[in-house]
Structure 1
Amino acid sequence: MRITSAVFDPALLDLPWTTPLEEWPEDRLVLLPRGISRHVVRFVRLNSTVYAVKETGERVAQKEYDLLRALERIGAPSVEAIAIVADRVDAVGEPLDPVLVTRHLQFSLPYRALFSHTLRPDTMNRLLDALAALLVRLHLGGFFWGDVSLSNTLFRRDAGAFAAYLVDAETGALRERLSTGQRGEDVELARVNIFGEMLDLQAAELLHETIDPETVADDVVRRYESLWHEVTYEQEVGGREVRHHVEKRIRRLNELGFDVEELQLSVQDDGQRYLIRPKVVDAGHHTRRLLRLTGLDAEENQARKLLNDLDTYRAESELDDEQQAAHRWLTEVFEPVVRAVPAHLRGKLEPTELFVQVLEHRWLLSERAGRDIGLAPAVQSYLADILTKRPDEQAILGYAVGPPTEDIPVIREDTVLS
């Protein structure tokens, strides 16, 4: 047996590598909802970490491992490659397929596991927005996916929206820059694949009657093209308006979650008009600012809402120093909210999403009361009236052995505070 790994976990040696993956004993497995896959996939927990183990060909495993490692280096949203286990043989010396081991993305779900009955239009819209944003981010980094679909994506809640992560890279290719034709091919693959996935949901009576599969597939293309245009188009402005338009353009890109690495201004022939060419880098503007100020690692929409609360706290406290305000907000506001959650409820939501939902709950209660009710009463109300009634995601996400994955109850979308 040969193991290739840059971040090797010695506990991997304890797994039954001489047994075909589909025959691994249940006491080695954990319950996690999984998407549709052409390969055998199993989830295992080693110490406190959950891994996905996928059986595939050696060349495919090596290619996907290399691509995932490369995506990690450029900060692209994808699962983390851990190891390749090759040269496996069974108890009688017969060869077994190699496996690719990735780290499971905590609190993430395949799209089918998000719904219990009918896929609602607003939820569909949020999924498509997340997928379009993921594809734009990958294309900005020079990554051609080659098999864009909802099934090859994992989703995490992100303050009322979703954040999307690539989970299958075996058909991909990383280049310095993608051509228009390469991007177009990826987008067309997304349209075709998602059309098929919508038809599957429709056949299973999981698609709302107002949702048309073909319209959804075309909508993916529209959302992608709209976002790509927003982050890449060249803008022509008059000479006196340059400063205002530059600031407005950067602010708009920041609101979408993208940073501007550099800006090119080209003077046109008459010397009075300028062409603005922003060089947009990977998304995560708010995520990076929050991490720098507080050390909290959050999704982009979560980070935006947390930063808004931090900025409000700073203004109310009349603190000029941003770093000092961030430290006090973290210790006096964020951490007390997280600590207020009883131990038996902490598996329901990750801390940043919990805090965001508490803020939203506070706003709703304050609207009803006609005044700000304060954070502490909002926390107690949220814990008693909302969090206790949520399904236990830790049980659903399977950090314990149980029945086959297909029998796992799915998370009802209507239980999410919106």
Structure 2
Amino acid sequence: MAALKEQYLVPQRYKTFSFILMGVGLLSLVLLYFAYGAHGGADAHAVHDRARFWASLLQNSVYFLLVVNAAMFFICATTLAWGGWQMSFNRVTEAVSSCVPVVGVIALIVLLSIVMGGDHAIYHWTDAEHVKHDEILNAKKGFLNKTFYIVWTIITVVGWWLLGAQMRKRSRSIDNAPLSREDGKRYIWNNTVWAAAYAVLFGLTVMSSIPWLWLMSINAHWYSTMYSWYTFASSFVAGIALITLFVIYLKNNGYLELVTREHLHDLGKFMFAFSIFWTYLWYSQFMLIWYANIPEETIYFKPRVHGPYRFLFFANLIINFLAPLLILMRRGSKRNYGTITMMAVLILFGHWIDFYQMVMPGVSEDHVPNMLYDLGIGLGFVGLIMFVTSRSLSRAPLYAKNHPFLKESIVHHT
């Protein structure tokens, strides 16, 4: 252990690049605000322009929050499984999850601003007068109301924050002294309990209610019983891709000596498997609605399949299904650093497009808005995640050297 590079030092070039990306994001935000968000008035055109501004912030903040939060779900899922193979890069996963408080605060401000604002172009159900005369929305008002949305959103973000912080704190608590056999058993058991608590919250939020509130309620007349699982699959595979990129970056810079191609292979298998799982949900949701051909269900797909979003809708399938299927199916591809890096970037971008076409047609149905603003804001979030993750990595050893399962990761073979 003494010969390993345990402390990460953030290169100045890395910091500069992350600041440049954040600058691009801030500039894009300002330009988008003056192009759309600053338009006053109560006429339909002004309301639509303001909705365009907030929709971009909604799409980017929710997407990147769910992506970084997927890292903590990965930690807790492997903890519950008593897995050891991931321990050689577990500190990378923890560092990615440390972005949740920062991105979570941004998302919280955006979401609460939208739901508490005077415009109702994004969430039609926030207009109480309109709900009174809408049979479908009136039937959903027990769930779709401002009070429930605000309270559950705050509980969700704060819950992810606190439970994630507890898992990271417990991981770092054993850095200074080895554990005895009994202490090791007790540590693993307590870790399992905290991971289970997080998994319960994750199940009640990402896998059920939160995608309904934040995303599906943009099209409040429409619903899908697979929507939450679809959202989870999209954000989780992107989260694995993000973890993989940081692992490869550190390997290329002489860190993470205990990480081998065996670990890279398993991360590649995760990206491949959950790309297929996402496609299964995409196909099931689309096929059942297409086959039933019920107007109140097909209305969701009309602008996406037959309207201006047709290209994005099918590009989404090509990038997020065909590319991983054809490239990551081979064993050699999952063990090649260049190929895995390319696929991780492609998956992150592909699922950003997925979230874009989940949000924008509900706000701008007749045309696709200029995506350069949205891409610029997305790059700003990328820079922020790079900065926060690197800072977290530099504040703790890169290995949980006293963890009882670290040896399993060192001898891991797939």
TM over 0.5: no
Q: Which has the larger radius of gyration?
A: 1
The one of the two structures with greater contact order (alpha-carbon pairs below 8 A, sep at least 6) is 2
Q: Which structure shows the higher strand fraction?
A: 1
TM value normalised by structure 1: 0.24
Q: Which structure shows the higher helix fraction?
A: 2
